[in-house]
Each structure stands twice: as C-alpha cells, then as structure tokens.
Structure 1
Amino acid sequence: MATYAVGDIQGCNDEFQALLGHIGFSSERDRLILIGDLVNRGPDSLAVLRWAYRQRAAVEVVLGNHDLHLLAVAAGKAKLKGKDTCDDVLAAEDRELLLDWLRQQRLLLTLDDYALVHAGILPCWELAEAQVLCAEVEAELRGKAYRDLLGNMYGNSPRTWSPRLQGYERWRLIINACTRMRLVNADGALDFEFKGEPADIPSGLMPWFAWPGRPVERHTVVFGHWSALGLRLEPQLIALDTGCIWGRQLTAVRLEDRRVFQIPSQQPARLGAD
C-alpha cells in the first residue's frame, strides 16, 4: 500500500490518467490525495471529477480555490469568468451528485506526519488551531446554509487573522489562507496581488512558509496552488503545483519515501497563475 499526493490537476485529465498509470495506482491497494484545484482552466474537468467520485473509497480531496469557485457558480452565487472551463460539469446530468460529493471534502487533512492543504497554513496558526478553524468552514460548507457561505467567500478582506473575527469575515479569511495564499508581510497579513516567481517577490513580503514567527511543527505541509514556485521538497515542506495547466508537468509524490513522479503536460506552454 502506498499513499500518493497529486498537485493541481485543473481539468487536465489525460495527464492525470497518464500519471496514475506511471505510479501504478490501484484503488484496491493505494491511497490518493488530491491537493485541490481538480477543475477549471483545463479541457476535461468533468472527467477528473467523475474519476475521483468513482474511486472515492481510495481518494481524498482538499479543496482549492477553483473547486470552491465551481461550487459557487453551481449554487448561483458567482458567474463563470472568461478563462473558466467548467461548462461541462455544469451541464452534466450527474452534476448534483458530483458537486454534492465535492462539497463534502476537506480544507485541511492531516495524515501521519503530513498536513495537506491547497495553498498553505496561515503562518500565525499552530496546526491544531488550523484544524479547528478549517473544521468550522467544512461544517458550514456541508450544512444547509452552504450557498450563503459560497456567496460570501469572495473578497480580500480581512487580511489579518484575529480570533475575534466572526461569521463570514472569519470564514472568508480561513478560506483565503487555505486556498489562495502565497505571500504575507512581516505582520503575517495576507497579500493577494503577487503571483510570480519567488525571485521577484516585492520587498516587505515573503512566502507564507518563510514567516519568521511560524510555529515549528513535526508535520510536513504538502500544498499546491503556486505554480511559479514549482516542485520543492524540504524537510517540512512539499510544494506540488508544477504548472500542468501552463504546459509544464503534473506531479505526484509518494509520501512514504517522498519519491517524485511526473508526467509532461499536453497543454500549450504559457505563463500564468491563479
């Protein structure tokens, strides 16, 4: 039995299936964790969702910003953007089955010595605190008022965490940290403007994982979202978004030994970030 984590698929189903073949994945033997952004911008989001749903006994998902955006559009709380490619999901006869399953997924998953999340863990949070806060949002997303949550999750404020935050402001910051974060400033406040290469980070900002006050944890954080960061394997950090949608690679790591597996993208080579 092996456990694999896979970076941002974003509807690139051909590459995803090739990667599964490359690692020899078996749903009867192995475990697969998808690090968010299963859908959008690529050519076949519906096929990715259908495969994950069929194999759900062996598959776990942490939600990404594109997954949540799809849920919001389906709930009538947002509109598709110009580059979105989720029409196939929205028009599918089994959309409610697939989207209801997607809505049940996690923001943060802990497994042995790993913590898996789409974008990162707000650096002022200890892991135990992050688990409790993410559970709040997960419960709301699974509840009867989930449409209201999806309609109120958009926006860049607040940027700084306070335990006094309540309601949608509180949940919006939790969602933004877990699904959109790349950089913070010296005070730990979120920055949403920069999406580029680490060498070009503006003065006064830093990657969330480089914040000097970040608690030391035994868990290694596994995340995606930042395609310009690329593959990184460090003692307490594994970054897996290698820009398949931008024409680079789709990446998996086997958590037991940190062996990396990659498949080249079939998408046109281009620059970009979401």
Structure 2
Amino acid sequence: MGAAAGRGDIWVIGDLQGCSAPLAQLLDHPEIAGDATARYWFAGDLVNRGPDSLAALRRVKSLGDRAVAVLGNHDLHLLAVAAGIRPAGKSDTLDDVLAAPDAAELIDWLRHRPLAHYEGHHLLVHAGVLPCWDVPQTLALAAEVEQALRGPDWRARLEKMYGNRPVQWKDDYHGGKRMRVIINALTRMRMCDAQGHMELSHKGPPTSEAGLVPWFDVPNRAIAAQDTVVFGHWSALGLLLRPDVICLDTGCVWGGKLSALRLRDRRLVQVSCTQYRKPASD
C-alpha cells in the first residue's frame, strides 16, 4: 500500500459496468492524459449491463500497476458465472468476456483484484464499510476473501458467498457466513438500520423509511475522522463529496456520466454517457 508513494496523481473512477467508450474518452481528457505518471483507482463493477464489458476489462487490465480496481458485485457475478456457480441473468452483458480467446486470463486477473485498498487516508471499496469496522479491520477482512478467491479452490469458496444473511457482523463468524457478511458489506450494502444492520434489498435513493439510513450515516462509525471512504455502487445516490465519504457512481450505464476525481484537490472530470440511457437499475 505504501509502495506507490511519490508517484503521480491518483484519479478515482466510478462504476464502468462495461462502458468502454466513455472510459477511453475520460482517459483521453487533457487533465488526465497529460500526466504520464497518473494512477487510477476503479471503484468496482468494471463489467456488466453496459455494451462492451470485454473492452472495459481489457483496458483496465492493460493499465498494469498504474491501476487499482476493487471488486464489485457485478465483477463477482462474472466470476460466479465463469465458474458455473450461477446462471447468467437476462440483463447480463458478459457473453463477450466468456467467449473471448483470453477469457481464462481475464478471469484469473479479475479474481486477483482486491476488495479494499487504502492509501493516503483514503479507503477504496465498491459499496461500503460496516459501521463497526475501522480501516485495519476492513483491510484484514477483505484480505480473507481475497485469499479465498486467489486459491485453487476459489470456485467452491465463491459458491458460499450468496445470500442476504447474516445482516450484522460478529467476530466469531466463520466459513460461508463470515464470507457473506464481508462480501455483502463491501460490494452490496447501501442502507442500514440505526444498529448498523444491513438492509440489502434497498436499491433506490437514500430514505429514512423504516428507520433506515445510508451506511455512512450510522452513528458512531469506527473509521477515524482523518480517513475518507471512496466508493461507487449507488447510482441512485450519485455524486457525493464529503470529508468522510466520496461516492462516484454517477450512472454511466444508465445514461448519466462517468466520473473521475483527483484525490489531492478533488478536481472532478466527467464525460456524458447519454448514449446508454436506460431505466435505472442496480
């Protein structure tokens, strides 16, 4: 995590979901392309729902060490479909990846991506962090799942990730139960109750109904005040820039925008994605 110190600016890019053309346009923006040492953080969901998951995946992979991409729920879904654990959904746009001549290489690369990344007081995840977790615990728990996905029995381990229960964290959880809570928090969570229990069925904008609040507004979160959580996943929330949280899912795949934020000064660069205008979804 500290090896990259002293290198170029970090640009965080929101959910791609297979929208390769806007990514190319964003990376060609003068402020971004003009820095040959720039690095890129991707907030997960590189693939699915958009028109060109294969090109998006290849483009991010081609950035090599200049890119950090955390896994999102759609990326995990691709791994599950490729492993034969889950069937493809009717809205999936993953066939180009699965049929590609380099499919095995891409799947292997994807399952070696992290679920969390921390640097310069910024914690990058796809969806959120349970209120009871601080940064060290988040990274440690993410590493448990990362190790499982990178091992020879990754298909069997991945099969245990599906399900909405439990909705809260306990240190003594083990096996599939433990893995589900970690994955659901980091890649699916949006709303919680006041005790920090996840409400995983919520997909719309923030609401106070049924005593729910966005995960980042649960009282007494454990993450230190000097640390900022950077995430995507929540297009109905959209762009959110606060000292403690940054959301960069601006709904590219639904006809919104693809956003990049420079961390050092929060300079925002966006490209329009109106060619993908569709009904909102997850």
- TM-score, structure 1 length as denominator? 0.96
Q: How does 1:180-191 map to 2 (within 5 A)?
A: 180-191=188-199
Q: CA deviation at 1:121?
A: 0.7
Specify every segment of 5 or more residues in structure 1 that has no aligned partner in the other structure, as ranges. none
Q: Check if 1:262 corresponds to 2:273.
A: no
What is the alpha-carbon distance in structure 2 between the residues aligned to residue 46 and residue 227 of structure 1? Answer: 22
Residues 227, 135 of structure 1: alpha-carbon distance in 2 compared, 3 angstrom cutoff: same
Counterpart for residue 217 of structure 2: 210
**How far apart, CA to CA, are the structure 2 residues paired with 1:159 and 1:133?**
16
User: Is 2:93 the partner of 1:85?
Assistant: yes
Contact 1:194 1:201 in 2 (8 A): no
**Does structure 2 retain, via aligned residues, the 8 Å contact 1:27–1:58?**
no
Contact 1:226–1:273 (CA<8 Å) still a contact in 2?
no
Q: Give the equivalent residue in structure 2 for 1:66.
A: 74
Correspondence list, 1:146-161, <5 A:
146-161=154-169
Q: Given the two structures, how large is their TM-score scaled by the length of structure 2?
A: 0.94
Aligned-residue sequence identity (percent) comes to 49
Show the counterpart of 2:110: 102
Is structure 2 residue 28 aligned with structure 1 residue 11?
Answer: no
Structure 1 pair 42–243 and aligned structure 2 pair: CA distance change class (3 A): same
Q: Which residue of 2 aligns with 1:227?
A: 235
CA contact (8 A) 2:112 2:149 kept: yes
In 2, Cα distance between equivalents of 1:11 and 1:139: 26
Are residues 1:30 and 2:33 paired?
A: no
Deviation at 1:25, TM superposition (A): 2.9
* Alpha carbons of structure 1 residues 13 and 69: separation in structure 2 relative to 1, 3 Å: same
> What SS does the aligned partner of 1:267 have?
helix
Q: 1-side partners of 2:55 and 2:208: how far apart?
A: 36
Q: Does 1:237 align with 2:245?
A: yes
Which residue of the partner structure matches residue 144 of structure 1? 152
Point out where structure 2 has 5 or more consecutive residues left out of the alignment: 1-7
Q: Shift of the alpha carbon at 1:235?
A: 0.7
Separation in 2, partners of 1:271, 1:215: 36
Deviation (angstroms), 1:270: 3.3
Aligned length: 273
Q: Does 1:162 align with 2:165?
A: no
Q: Please give the per-residue CA displacement for 1:139-167, whole angstroms capped at 9, x wherever unaligned.
A: 11111111012211111011111011101
Structure 1 CA distance for aligned equivalents of residues 276 and 174 of structure 2? 43
